[in-house]
Structure 1
Amino acid sequence: MIGSSALSLGCVAIFLGAAFLSGCGHAGPPSVGECVAALENEDFHVKLGALEILYRYGPEAAGAADRVTLLLSSSDPTLAAAAAEVLGAMGPAAAPVAIPALKVALSDPRQSPIFGPVWACAAEAIGRMGPAGVATLLPLLESQEPEIVRAAAYGLHFAGPAGAEAVPALIRVLEKNDPFTRREAIFALQGIGPAAKDAVPALITMLHCDDFHTQYWACRALAAMGPEAQPAVPVLIVLTREGVTSVRRNAAAALGCIGPGIGAEGLAALQAALFDPTEAVREQAVIALGRLGSFAAEAVPTLQAVVRERKIQCRALAAVALWKITGNPEFPIQVIREEIYLPENQLQAITCLAELGPPRGTRPP
């Protein structure tokens, strides 16, 4: 997808949209009008480049929604998916024109090699269109067609807190426990965040699911709810020990996001996870302890041991956690500076410094 795909259309446009970008006759980016005109070009690459630029214009390009909407019915799934992404970037201003056609596209099973399923791009676009988008997706959760329920739930993730009115319907989807729709319902609740707190009991039930994918998505949704997910702490503690790798990792992350409400037992579980046999779990436990700040003070000696004994590949993560817990930059900066000179850890170490910024008025060297 234009906004979230690992293969960003920003890169694609450089190569595929070169003819359009170089043919506008001026140094700056093409105007919205020039982009709209380029959509009439028969060259696929030119159209894709024009859509990329319209995406970057976002709401400023809403006047072009009618023309972009026509591409939803393109015979090429990449153009259809890209058009949906552009309409989503335009936001609520495009809703009156775009939503009817996007609603039809929710049933489009075609797959774009760049942006993924057309239906998912259309659902995301509707979800980004504010109250009108929520009003469109909400009744679709009651559909008898699982594909439509899945699409509606997926789209509601992108509505954020504005999708709170859909929480009761999403809980009903979870109660059906349909493998085809439950993960998208959980994804929707994750996007809604703390406003979906009434779904915590249903998500706790999903933590007991036999499908580990459902389990770790439930962990992610609970993490997004922060302190509101405190009732899930006992089950999350168990999952840091007994789940598969992805479940243990996401359970640890959820405990960190819930905060001090995890209590002494939750803190102990995270410290134990520092010695998990899997690197990814150990890393997430480190990050979670950092999120807890001073509440995790008793974990400082253990984190220091993790750094000294290189229990995780990139010690900069543990340095960040120590900095967040203690506020003392000296030891963490020393560790991060060492990690920066290791090619395999360099990028992550630099990212850690950028995340921290100057602590308590101290600027890292």
Structure 2
Amino acid sequence: MTHKQIWLNFSGLGLLIALLGLVYWLNTGARAVPGLIEDLQSGDLQAQMLAAEGLKEIGSNAQSAVPVLVTVATSDANLSLSGAAAGALPAIDLRAARQVMTVWLPKLHDPDAHMKGYAASTIGALGPVAKPAVPILVRLLSDEDIAVRERATRSLGAIGLPIDIVMGGLLQALRDPEWTVRYAAVTQFSFSGFSSQESLAALRELTQDSNQTLAGSAQSAVAAAERLIQASVYSLMLSQGMNRTYTLHQLAKLGPRAADAVSGIAAVLTTGKPLERYLAASALEEIGPAAKESTPALQRALHDTDPIVREAVLAALQSIENKRDQTP
């Protein structure tokens, strides 16, 4: 191969790399939003699901996609798609996420069991920002329809807060007469960081369940509860900026057991992402009076630009002062 041929090969490779870089640049971050909005409206379910996930990853820079996401999230055309769109919104716009919750809340009272279950699932996809829906979801655990109870159980696990009410609901589901509902509850303890002495006792009983699938899952849940990750581990993850959304949610579920992480949690109240600030305030609310050292940071956060964050901050201050509303 001559020097000229080698030079041409390198030039061609350099051009190819430059073109690939341009394609990557055009299809990442805020630049990708117009294309993802188009995909979300395409009618191709796979493309729509991927678009919703892509917009979620982009976060607040995907503000222009909010109207389309809200439309999709409040549609009852496809459960998986409405859930994916709902799940994308908290990372982009907390108010829009609450708007979706508000649309679905009345449908939790719908006489049609299918619609009730659909509403429960979509609200659950919103995660912790759907906390105001928890009391109604708990009441659905007594619904006569098995699928409604199962979906309400999974949604409670996904929302996770307030931990005392959610835990009470999950304990009720662990004792449900239908094994699929008990299984839905067990999986929350296997993978979502819920744990208490009462739940551990109930899970141990379920390891002897006649349904082998349920019994095996209960054994995994017991093992997970017995090796529950400590607050110090989550504190380290938080200090290193590792998946703050997940980490803050887990710390909130620990409640007062996360007291040693208060300073790290309070520091997140000044970050740029509203969802992280919301979860930080929610975690401090769950910790309660033991989070008293965070009071100055919370008082400053009362001026947060996001009203949903301000709501969570006020709730945290009331909890620290031991004035939290405990009405289920």
The TM-score with structure 1 as length reference comes to 0.47
The equivalent of 2:72 in structure 1 is 105
Tell me what 2:232 maps to: none
The match for 1:77 is 45
Query: How many angstroms apart in 2 are the aligned matches of 1:78 and 1:110?
Result: 12
Count, aligned residues: 208
2: CA distance, partners of 1:148 / 1:99 = 24
- Residue deviations 1:161-211 (CA, integer Å, cap 9, x gap): 444333223213323353333333222222333643312232222223343
Tell me the CA shift for residue 238 of structure 1.
1.6
CA distance in 1, matches of 2:67, 2:40: 11
Identity of aligned residues (%): 23
Q: Is the 8 A contact 1:124 1:154 kept in 2?
A: no
CA distance in 1, matches of 2:161, 2:220: 16
1-side partners of 2:90 and 2:122: how far apart?
5
Structure-2 residue corresponding to 1:119: 82
User: Is the 8 Å Cα contact of residues 156 and 169 (structure 2) preserved in structure 1?
Assistant: no
Q: Which residue of 2 aligns with 1:142?
A: 106
Query: Superposition RMSD on alpha carbons, in Å?
Result: 3.5
TM-score w.r.t. structure 2 length? Answer: 0.52
Paired with 1:182 and 1:102, the residues of 2 have a C-alpha distance of 27
Equivalent in 154, 161, 167 of residue 187 of structure 1: 154
CA distance in 2, matches of 1:87, 1:146: 31
How do residues 244-259 of structure 1 correspond to structure 2 at under 5 angstroms? 244-259=211-226
Matched, 1:88 2:88: no
- For residue 197 of structure 1, the aligned residue among 138, 152, 164 is 164
Contact 1:77 1:110 in 2 (8 A): no
Secondary structure, aligned partner of 1:74: coil
> Contact 1:190–1:225 (CA<8 Å) still a contact in 2?
no
Residues 64 and 172 (structure 1), Cα distance of their counterparts in 2 relative to 1, 3 Å cut: farther
State the match for 2:291 in structure 1.
Answer: none
**How many angstroms does 1:242 deviate by?**
1.6
Listed as ranges, the matches of 1:1-365 within 5 Å are: 26-28=19-21, 30-33=23-26, 35=27, 57=28, 60-61=29-30, 64-94=32-62, 96-106=63-73, 107=75, 109=77, 117-129=80-92, 131-139=94-102, 140-143=104-107, 144=110, 149-157=116-124, 159-193=126-160, 195-223=162-190, 224-227=192-195, 229-259=196-226
Q: Is the 8 A contact 2:86 2:126 kept in 1?
A: no
Aligned counterparts of 1:93 and 1:200: Cα–Cα separation in 2: 35
Displacement of 1:154 in angstroms is 3.5
Do the aligned partners of 1:193 and 1:225 also contact (CA within 8 Å) in 2? no
Relative contact order, higher structure (CA 8 A, sep 6+): 2
The 8 Å contact of residues 240 and 247 in structure 1, kept in 2 or not, is answered as yes
Which stretch of structure 1 is more off in the superposition, 191-200 or 237-246? 191-200
Q: Is the 8 A contact 1:167 1:189 kept in 2?
A: yes
Unpaired runs of 5+ in structure 2? Answer: 1-14, 229-328
Contact 2:72–2:81, Cα closer than 8 Å, also in 1? yes
- CA deviations 1:35-92 (Å, max 9, x no partner) are 3xxxxxxxxxxxxxxxxxxxxx4xx32x543442233221322222222222222224
Instruction: Identify if the C-alpha distance between structure 1 residues 97 and 181 changes in structure 2 by more than 3 Å, giving closer, same or farther.
Output: farther
Helix, strand or coil: the match of 1:241? Answer: coil
- Structure with more of its chain in helix, by fraction: 2
